[in-house]
A = this chain, B = another copy of it.
Amino acid sequence: MTITPEIQKQIEEQRKSSHQSLREFSPGMEKNLYTLFPILDHGFIRIVDYMGNDSSVVQAARVSYGKGTKKSRTDEGLIRYLIRHKHTTPFEMCDVKFHIKLPIFVARQWIRHRTASVNEYSARYSKLEDEFYIPEFENLSAQSGINRQGRGEILPHEEGKKVRKILLQDSTTTYQNYEKMLSQENQEGLSRELARINLPTNVYTQWYWKVNLLNLLKFIHLRIDTHAQYEIRVYAEKLAEIVKNWVPITYQAFNDYWLEGVSVSQQQVTLIKQKMDGKDISFEESGLSKREWNEFIEVFGLEGS
């Protein structure tokens, strides 16, 4: 992404104008407000506004828990309890608004998270810029043989070169044709809303995205996962870092229980008990499907049967 001097100047201006405010405050957010965090080759994430901090979560939880807890429980203990037991409503009390630039194919996955507010740049109203996502060599992976919706090994360099050449070429050609169809020189010029249908989904778009903390955690949980497509995962990773700075106690609990925790089925609880008792367990007698068994022994570092 080209950070033009003009954009740089706007950001500096936004970072100069401050106000004395009585609101809840987060030093970790103020520090990053308005700054452009580059993602992929032309994308970015910018925090544009926020509301609340770890205390806002505690405050909301304590209304529903009443006066009794004020002394007996520390804020951290309460937040960890809420995360552990999935008492999630207090985490809706914080909000954040981002300005995000991202390729359309990433935007299409992103928008599936319905509980959020979005205003997107309109390609009916304005012309799209000539910016396309072209993966680096190390991100050009072959189709996975075991996971139908995943990636396998990185392509050999020569094959990678061919792929990058195709992507670059088709981006260039389709954009030139986009401009050709739009042009009003010696012709009427096609409407923008039609001309843009010629552009591939690696073209960049941008939007304002506002989401509450709970739904942001859900987004990160799903999209930071190794099964998520790399190109959305890098956005999720940056968002995780932002949340860590914003609400450090909440983030730590989220990390321990949700990100790094695992779900264990009724049958797996039985297997764990047996193994802890020193008994042998085996796939054949486990009652699990092969896939579940494999997931199970991997998580708990057991040897396969």
Using CB atoms and an 8 Å cutoff, list the residues of chain A in contact with chain B: 14-15, 17-25, 30, 33-34, 48-52, 56, 59-61, 63-68, 77, 80-81, 84, 89-90, 92-93, 95, 97, 99, 103-105, 107-108, 111-112, 114-115, 117-122, 124-127, 133, 135, 140-144, 148-153, 155-156, 159, 162-163, 166-167, 170, 173-174, 177, 180-182, 184, 187-194, 196-202, 206-208, 210, 212, 229, 255-257, 260-269, 272-273, 275-276, 278, 289, 291-292, 299-302
Contacts and interface: CB of A to CB of B under 8 A. Distances in A.
A23 B167 CA distance: 40
A265 B256 contact: yes
B261 A261 contact: no
A142 B190 contact: yes
Contacts of A269: 260-262, 299-300
Given A97-B93, A149-B193, A264 B262 contact: yes
A21 B25 CA distance: 8
Contacts of A151: 191, 193-194
The 7 A-B residue pairs with the shortest CB-CB distance in the complex, in nearest-first order:
A66-B126, A260-B266, A92-B117, A51-B51, A142-B188, A19-B25, A197-B202
Contact of A276 (B20, B81, B156, B300): B300
Contacts of A124: 149-150, 229
A167 B12 CA distance: 42
A89 to B, nearest CB: 6
A51 B119 contact: no
Contact of A133 (B93, B177, B197, B278): B197
B23 A68 contact: no
Contact of A49 (B15, B52, B92, B149): B52
Contact of A56 (B33, B49, B115, B180): B49
A188 B156 contact: yes
A70 to B, nearest CB: 11
A34 B59 CA distance: 13
Contact of A191 (B107, B141, B199): B141
Contacts of A200: 174, 197-201
Given A166-B198, A201-B197, A273-B301, A150 B191 contact: yes
Given A149-B125, A149-B193, A201-B199, A174 B163 contact: no
Given A104-B201, A119-B63, A180 B208 contact: no
